[in-house]
Chain A
């Protein structure tokens, strides 16, 4: 770019320091707020998805079928007009049958870990209090490969269930509500009417109060016995090395085993669409700040053009091209955009650091949390690109007007 045109553009801006600073301030604040808000929103989204991916199965296989089984006559005469009424399916024990074979199949899929779970409702009775819980029957060694629960253990270990099949691991909230301690015994009554006494082997604390109160972990065999569902499980937790391949792999698994396999994306489809809508709203709002700043730039460049008509005329009479004149004023917009970015980005970073330093409690969480921010480089690139483009485009219209000034008209009028 011609340094002469840049120097003329700079002199024009410096000659109107106050207006230039006001316009600049619009871009600076626009960039800073764009960064602070977008990184906060995307950071919270990324944090949410990370928690979702970490704390829920990448694929959950349940003891259900996506579609009801067809009757043999419907399969045999598929194109025909077959109607079967008053079908009474055979009553059978609920749960996934032959889960050992299913697990063998799953373990053959590369980069996949699977663990069977049998979950049922039960009531814990202790010191005259009854609390409803979810009893999760697990294989501790396999659970460790698919769940992060071990990382939340504050006392004991999930692996302690291997040595003591009559043990139970409870959450910190349940322990608090019932004043339970490791080593104490509790009585658990299942919906089947069976009652069993378990020894508390460990306590976990995830920070999510409802989870810490309702979930417990027990050896799988013991839960199968309590729920009278021998050799049955009702879900398989699957974790993948690449969580984002879950949708495809879930479809493959379901096609092979018949049971419903739901990927975390499918399970969270509503939330994901809500997040997308939230992002659209967020980008619209933060972009509006920069659009308003662009109007400020349009205003100052238009004013400069009006004030500089004589200078434009003399430059053109001297031999400057219309393109040179246009470039002078577009450069002024670009300079405001560039300086706005150079000042706005550090200001945005400062705002992000302040936001990150805030710690507060949210309902449902027992630990204070800080705002998760997305520090990825492309947030800065989007903010800078948007500011530069909007500032330059805002200058384009008055610059075009300046380029079309007829020197004779101005000189004749000024003489």
Chain B
């Protein structure tokens, strides 16, 4: 079943020199599928990911999430969808530096407000335990390695149990060993937990782990 679908998706930037970031892309992402998007730098793969994650609005084309078309939604409705159904992992971990690892993971749950404070703490701790970071829960981002911080960012992306995880170069800043750990975690999110995972990557080895691989060139799907 397709949890995410696009039709004629395009994103253009106006200006003195109009630029096309994404050009007429039709795409489907299924439940439990690990999809890798590759392509040269500046090809538009990150822009496509931001559109899929409802962080950016398409110039033309439409996006369906769980069968619901989203183009008519306002900014706040899109934010609510992101909070409840989508999880993001970026190349930089983007953890809030004043918050401990566990507090960073708690943030999306606190904003959603569905769990009690004690449930939120317990779930954040479990997510960190599952990612091998139980001992790091009370540490601040500057007290952890890049790989550990990226795993905390993954735990934060999973906080509200999203159906779809979108990762933009998640291993781009990591060493080989940390990179392997993150790749395994993302693959398991799809294959063991049944989430749809869309990862943008330059790393051919990482892309090879995916169920499906799409290449973006000049904003268009290539193959």
Contacts and interface: CB of A to CB of B under 8 A. Distances in A.
B79 A320 contact: yes
B92 A11 contact: no
A353 interface: no
B98 A408 contact: no
Interface in A281-327: 310-311, 313-324
B83 A408 contact: no
Interface residues of B, number: 31
Nearest to B53: A317
Interface in B73-98: 75-76, 79-84, 88, 90-92, 94, 96-98
A237 B82 CA distance: 81
A280 interface: no
A15 B111 contact: no
Contacts, number: 73
B57 to A, nearest CB: 10
Nearest to B166: A317
B98 A320 contact: no
B99 interface: yes
Interface in A1-30: 4, 8, 11-12, 14-15
Contacts of B111: 4, 318-320, 324
Contacts of B108: 318-319
A411 B53 CA distance: 13
B107 interface: yes
Contact of A415 (B84, B99, B168): B168
A319 B75 contact: no
Contacts of B110: 4
Nearest to A311: B96
B90 A316 contact: no
Q: How large is the interface on A (under 10, 10 to 19, 20 to 34, 35 or more residues)?
A: 20 to 34
A139 B21 CA distance: 102
Contacts of A412: 46, 50
B223 to A, nearest CB: 25
Contacts of A322: 75-76
B16 to A, nearest CB: 18
B203 interface: no
Given A317-B55, A415-B92, A4 B107 contact: yes
A310 to B, nearest CB: 6
B112 interface: yes
B33 interface: no
A127 interface: no
B56 interface: yes
Nearest to A412: B46
Contacts of A317: 53, 55, 82, 88
Contact of A14 (B84, B88, B98, B107): B98
B168 to A, nearest CB: 7
Interface in B121-174: 156, 168-169, 172
A95 interface: no
A11 B141 CA distance: 14
A156 interface: no
Contact of B55 (A11, A311, A408): A408
Chain A, interface SS category = helix
A74 B77 CA distance: 84
A311 B168 CA distance: 17
Contacts of A321: 75-76, 79
A314 B55 CA distance: 11
A414 interface: yes
Interface in B27-61: 46, 50, 53, 55-56
B79 A314 contact: no
Contacts of B94: 310-311, 313-314, 411, 414
Contacts of A15: 97-98
A366 to B, nearest CB: 64
B141 to A, nearest CB: 11
B99 A11 contact: yes
Contact of A319 (B46, B83, B90): B83
Contacts of A11: 96, 98-99
Given A319-B83, A319-B112, A411 B90 contact: yes
Contacts of A313: 94
A280 B111 CA distance: 47
Contacts of A311: 94, 96-97
Contacts of B75: 321-322
A120 interface: no
Contacts of B92: 310, 414-415
Nearest to B75: A322
Nearest to A409: B56
A12 B168 CA distance: 27
A320 B172 CA distance: 26
Given A408-B55, A415-B169, A318 B98 contact: no
A313 B83 CA distance: 14
B52 to A, nearest CB: 12
A63 B90 CA distance: 93
B50 A408 contact: yes
Nearest to A14: B98
Interface of A: 4, 8, 11-12, 14-15, 310-311, 313-324, 407-408, 411-412, 414-415
Interface of B: 46, 50, 53, 55-56, 75-76, 79-84, 88, 90-92, 94, 96-99, 107-108, 110-112, 156, 168-169, 172
19 contacts: A8-B96, A11-B98, A313-B94, A314-B94, A318-B107, A318-B108, A319-B82, A319-B108, A319-B111, A320-B79, A324-B111, A407-B55, A408-B56, A412-B46, A414-B92, A414-B94, A415-B90, A415-B91, A415-B172
Given A12-B98, A311-B94, A320-B111, 7 more contacts: A11-B99, A15-B97, A310-B92, A318-B88, A318-B108, A319-B83, A415-B92
